[in-house]
Amino acid sequence: MVTFLATVTLESNSDKNREKNEDRLASALAIADRVASSIPGDCVILFPGGWLHTGGEPADSIIPSVTAPMRDRLAAYPNDLVLAFGIDGLMTAEGFDRDQLGLAVGRQGLLALGRKFYLSGGDELGDVIKAKSHLAPEQGYNRVFALNGRRFFIAVCYDIKGPDALRLPNPGIDIVLNMVHYFFPPPPRQEKRDPNAEKPLSGVSDNVRKLVAGASKQWECPAFATATFVNRGITEKYRTGMYWRMGEESVTKCAMDDNSLRPLDGLGFRQPCPEGTAEVRVYDLDRVLSDPESCRYEPGERAPRFPGDRRSGVTLVKPLRITGAFDKVKGKVEENSAGAVFDMLTEGMKRVFGEDRHDQNSQVTFFGPNRVEYPDVDKIDLVMLLSHRASPGTLNVKVYNHALAALFGIDEAAVRESLPSSFEEATYRGSEHPKDRYLKGALDLKDAVRFVAAMERWASASLT
């Protein structure tokens, strides 16, 4: 059986928050669904560190509740899939996550569990609980698991520096899986810096070029890494796979693509998530291990290719339908006596947008053609129905006023007038693109009828 590896890099409008666990779990399963349906073989899917968060509780407190639905979903696929991700917990008042775990889940359930073993200066300041060694069992589980005869080593974020810094011999593993936490926007450039001060890592580039490649060099095997980019896009030169090729050369003297691995064309994709977008890159592990020289970026190549319009580089957005999600949202809304509002909106939006609808566990989102020059996608979100609690008989809604107005060729004021005066203006944190401007509030049945009528009127006028 051919073995693949998929890296999931997330663009998010926020960092850690235990309130996102439900959406994060749903997103992971939606990505697994797409991988299972499109990749012709077994696959390990690598997610970032801290994919799930337990706040002040121990990280392992949610392992049973998250591994059970993963196990059940994975058992239904024809091929073997393994989900590898991080869970953080025991967060202090200062925001340090003292409990940081990495784990792997397959159709049999929990396969591997590892605690961070190599601490950064910040980790030591935050009193992060450290594993006794890089091979110390955690609750009876090893941090190494196998798939099709390949052995995978879980490295929790800064663990990736451990193999080189500690001069550790390869413990019989074939692939390193590095679950990085976050990359934040770079700080403003300082014109003057103390020439005697230690030069800090410059974020994305140094993490991949030095640390991930350094682990690959020390253990003579490929190393893959993922992260969450908070309030910033994934940088063009970001590489999620590295395999050392440069002999005894120092990592500090190597360029990014001296050791990088190129993902496959056609199998990667971008996945809409409630908090942003996940970029999935797919590697053929058998080919990487047998012929790494053939898995290189060409000179000047700056980004992976995804399915879509190859001439324009636009990704074709397809409906995301998490099994049972639509009924789950409707059920929560009905508990708030707003079932009629939900039905009015969903039926009305279907008449306007057809099948362009994402079903996720906490929201139903209608989307349509991109008319606002938002890069790299052909369709964008337009109206979102949320399951979050509202006043009785009403439904929480987000309306992307700029995108909607551009689609129908109307003024944004017309969108505003179609909604109750209580709706407030907002935008996604850190975003400057007008596509991410929206109006948020709650609709009762009368308001929903009025808004649907306006939408149908705009759609009809735009066709004449």
**Minimum mean pLDDT range among 183-187, 304-308, 403-407, 414-418:** 304-308
Is residue 177 very low, low, confident or very high in pLDDT (cuts 50, 70, 90)? very high
Residue 444 predicted with pLDDT over 70: yes
**d(Cα 56, Cα 68) in Å, to the nearest integer?**
22
pLDDT value for 263: 93
Q: How many CB atoms lie within 10 A of CB 347?
A: 10
- With beta carbons less than 8 A apart as the criterion, state whether 212 and 231 touch: no
pLDDT tens, residue by residue, 31-54: 999 899 888 899 999 999 999 999
pLDDT tens, residue by residue, 257-278: 889 999 988 788 888 888 888 9
Does the predicted model carry a pTM greater than 0.85?
no
Query: For residue 216, what is the enclosing H or E element?
Result: helix 213-219
pLDDT tens, residue by residue, 111-136: 999 999 999 988 898 899 999 999 99
**Minimum mean pLDDT range among 63-72, 351-360, 398-407:** 351-360
Residue 308 predicted with pLDDT over 70: no
**d(Cα 244, Cα 258) in Å, to the nearest integer?**
8
The per-residue b/e assignment along 419-454, b for 16 or more CB within 10 angstroms, e otherwise, is: beeebeeebbeeeeebbbbbbbbbbbbebbbebbeb
**Minimum mean pLDDT range among 12-16, 67-71, 140-144, 192-196:** 192-196
Two structure tokens written together for 241: 């796979």
463 or 361: whose pLDDT is higher?
A: 361
Average pLDDT over residues 92-110: 94
Instruction: Round the average pLDDT of the chain to a whole number and report it.
Output: 88
pLDDT tens, residue by residue, 139-169: 999 999 999 999 999 999 999 999 999 999 9
Beta-bridge partners for 190: none
Kindly tell me the burial class for residue 107, based on how many C-beta atoms sit within 10 Å of its own C-beta (0-12, 13-18, 19 or more): middle
In three-state secondary structure terms, 235 is: coil
Task: Tell me the HSE value of 111 on the side-chain side, using a 13 A CA sphere.
Answer: 23
**Minimum mean pLDDT range among 223-227, 280-284, 429-433:** 429-433
Residue % of the chain over a pLDDT of 90: 61
In three-state secondary structure terms, 229 is: strand
Is residue 416 very low, low, confident or very high in pLDDT (cuts 50, 70, 90)? very high
Residue 229 predicted with pLDDT over 80: yes
pLDDT value for 307: 53
Residue 200 predicted with pLDDT over 50: no
Domains (range + CATH), the chain: 3-309 (3.60.110.10), 325-462 (no CATH)
Average pLDDT over residues 87-110: 94
pLDDT value for 293: 85
